[in-house]
Structure 1
Amino acid sequence: MTTPVPAEWAPHRAMWVGWPSHGELWEENLDPAQAEVEALVRALAGPGRELVRLLVGKDEALADARARFAGVDGVEVVDGRFGDIWLRDTGPIFGAGSARAAAFRFNGWGGKFELEHDDTVATQIGAASATPLDRHDFILEGGALDHDGQGTILTTRQCLLNPNRNPDWTEDKAEAALADSLGARKVLWLGDGLLNDHTDGHVDNLARFVAPGVVACPVAWGRGDPNDDVYAEVARALSEMTDAGGRPIRVLPLPSPGLVLDEDEKPIPASHMNFLIANGAVIVPTYGDERAADLVCQGLKTVLPDREIISLPSLAILSGGGSFHCISQQEPA
């Protein structure tokens, strides 16, 4: 039987982060996105925290990345190739002790954004981390799953059962695949993800394990939150679930960022749930509402009291479709 994937709060030997490298994709948001990722990397590499392996995806971006982090302890700049920075989805999922990692097929989130080199990222990370890869012949993105370290996996039907990934999958087939590849003992199924999320409802924007038997999920914040009904349904569904060990799931409600609009006045999938649990810290993305962010940090401190809770802006990264969790992947110790 495959050993379950460790929980994110388990110790890490390293943390991979993608560096915004492609001006043609980020356009006017390239410099602001690089500034936000630099702040994230410096927070992660604080004393006693992470070895950050910063994957740079293009030759032209390499010298600048090396210059920014020259002399910063705990940052290793890695020359690589990717379509974009979403390593949570394109990279491998590391198993216990990072003795091996699981690699999956990647099809650009159901064919929406198929970029050169994204389908090689898992191979590159496996080689650079000296981790043998177990390859699985189905499509899966790491952001579609969340793990409690004891064999419970949280996901959404909107993504995992979407015919644009694995057309023949049912819940039973998906559960068998996750048991074989990632040690799933029980899969908790939520429904839809956030409005206008091009990942088709990744769970790392919606609900996250923060302790065994405890799942953080958003509650609507302010007027006109476009995901109010989705959040209410997630909390209701979770309150009726148990984990692989038979514990009833306890819900930790945390404020959403509220209504966040892009330059065309269209709601975008901003989420505090895209926080990153690191050695000694939790990094929380913020989107302009400091009161909501502060309440999220206070809530996370109640379940992760041994970590510093750090909030950092992520609006420029969000313009590309995700946040801190989306651009990272941990190597368990």
Structure 2
Amino acid sequence: MLRMPAEWEKHRGTWLSYPHNPDTFFEKIDNVREKYVEMIYWVSKGEEVHINVNDEEMENDLKRRLQKYPDLDKNKIFIHKFPTNDAWCRDHGAIFVKDENNNLIALDFKFNAWGNKYPHDLDDQIPQKMAEYLKIPSIKIDMVLEGGSIDVNGEGLLLTTESCLLNPNRNPNLSKEEIEQNLKKYLGVEKILWLKDGIVGDDTDGHVDDITRFVDKDTVITIVEENKNDENYEPLKENLQRLKSFKEIKNIITLPMPEPVYYKGDRLPASYANFYISNYAVIVPIFNCQQDKIALQTLQSIFKDRKVIGIEANDIVVGLGTFHCLTQQIPA
């Protein structure tokens, strides 16, 4: 029997892939790396941080930026020359589960870059490399699944969206029932809670980690849009109604959407739900607007045992994701 621990359970470490793709971050790459290293600093206060780099040049760039934090514990930083196509380790990295004897296992689902939208030949090799480095078994699974498309409470519940997991660009040969069977078998869940759509600008076809997240076994936070003229208003309203209909969820805490963020005229998927829960800190994307304060205060009231850190993410979200999309936890 396999089980995927909840993100707030104890981590051995966090795995990342260093940002480098000019087609993802364009002219923002330098500032993206600065914010990325700030995230590494806070995460490393409580656990190991493993970072994939493509080559020595990237490794040197990373080390140079880390030097800006003189109190950083370098013994917790592990750099791996595992080349990637892009930085989104949540989706191309292994998904870690525990077996009945509490042994760590890496799940190697297929990765097709969100429906074959981008090159992914290197990314698809990462789970195997992670497992080999950690000297743990891996299970290859004949199903496309990204880590950002699911969220678990560690006690039998899984949240996901129809717009992503049932999209024909993922697993056209699998029925909804077969997808559910795989999720139950490999992630140790008993019930799949299906939401409908993600937010505007999300090129993943609607990952759940941009809209709704478990924060304890029967509590979720979910994003709402108050402006009825905003294109996210209706999808998020329907999402909230579905959450209210799930008897397994006892508490629903809402967070506002930030002010809309654009790049070259395109709406970006800016969302406070894309936070990452590490051992020491909860890393929250903020967007230089008045809603930032509400989001940070709300999350700090939930995660009383951790420091809630807001890191400005206006440039990172140009790549169409933020801190949760960049990270993958290794359970302790």
Shorter chain as normaliser: what TM range?
A: over 0.9
Q: 2:142 aligns with which of 133, 137, 142?
A: 137
Q: CA deviation at 1:221?
A: 5.2
Q: What is the aligned partner in structure 2 of residue 62 from structure 1?
A: 59
Indicate the residue corresponding to 1:317 in structure 2. 316
Q: What are the ranges of 5 or more consecutive residues in structure 1 without an aligned counterpart?
A: none
The answer to whether residue 214 in structure 2 is matched with residue 214 in structure 1 is no
Pairwise mapping of residues 109-128 of structure 1 onto structure 2 (< 5 A)? 109-128=114-133
Cα shift at 1:222: 5.8
What's the secondary structure of 2:90's corresponding residue?
helix
| Identical-residue share of aligned pairs (%) | 34
Q: Closer, same or farther in 2 for the Cα pair 1:281/1:203, shift >3 Å?
A: same
In the superposition, relative to structure 1, how do residues 214 and 24 fare at CA in structure 2: closer, same or farther (>3 Å)?
A: closer
Which residue number corresponds to residue 204 of structure 1?
209
Alignment of 1:295-310 (within 5 A): 295-310=294-309
CA drift at 1:25: 4.4
Amino acid at match of 2:269: P
Which residue does 2:274 correspond to in 1? 274
- Equivalent residue number for residue 284 of structure 1: 284
Distance in 2 (CA, whole Å) between partners of 1:91 and 1:126 is: 10
**Cα distance in 1, alignment partners of residues 184 and 208 from structure 2:** 18
1:1-333 matches, cutoff 5 A: 2-23=1-22, 25-46=24-45, 49-69=46-66, 72-73=72-73, 74-96=76-98, 97=102, 99-220=104-225, 224-243=229-248, 248-263=249-264, 265-289=265-289, 291-333=290-332
Query: Does the 8 Å CA contact 1:88/1:143 hold for their aligned counterparts?
Result: yes
SS at match of 2:189: coil
Q: Distance in 2 between matches of 1:104 and 1:50?
A: 25
Shift, 1:284, TM fit: 0.4
Partners of 1:238 and 1:249 in 2: CA distance: 10
Amino acid at match of 1:240: S
- After TM superposition, the score normalised by the length of structure 2 is 0.93
Give the C-alpha shift of residue 238 in structure 1. Answer: 0.4
Instruction: Choose 302-311 or 7-16, whichever is displaced more.
Output: 302-311
How far the C-alpha of 1:171 sits from its partner, in A, is 2.4
> Offset at 1:242?
2.9
Superposed CA RMSD:
1.7
Q: One-letter code of the match for 1:76? A: F
* 1:141–1:24 distance in 2 versus 1, CA, 3 Å: closer
Query: Could you say if the C-alpha distance between residues 197 and 81 of structure 1 is closer, same or farther in structure 2, counting changes exceeding 3 Å?
Result: same
Work out the number of aligned pairs and report it. Answer: 324
Shift, 1:162, TM fit: 0.5
Residue 58 to residue 315, structure 1, CA distance change in 2 (3 Å):
farther
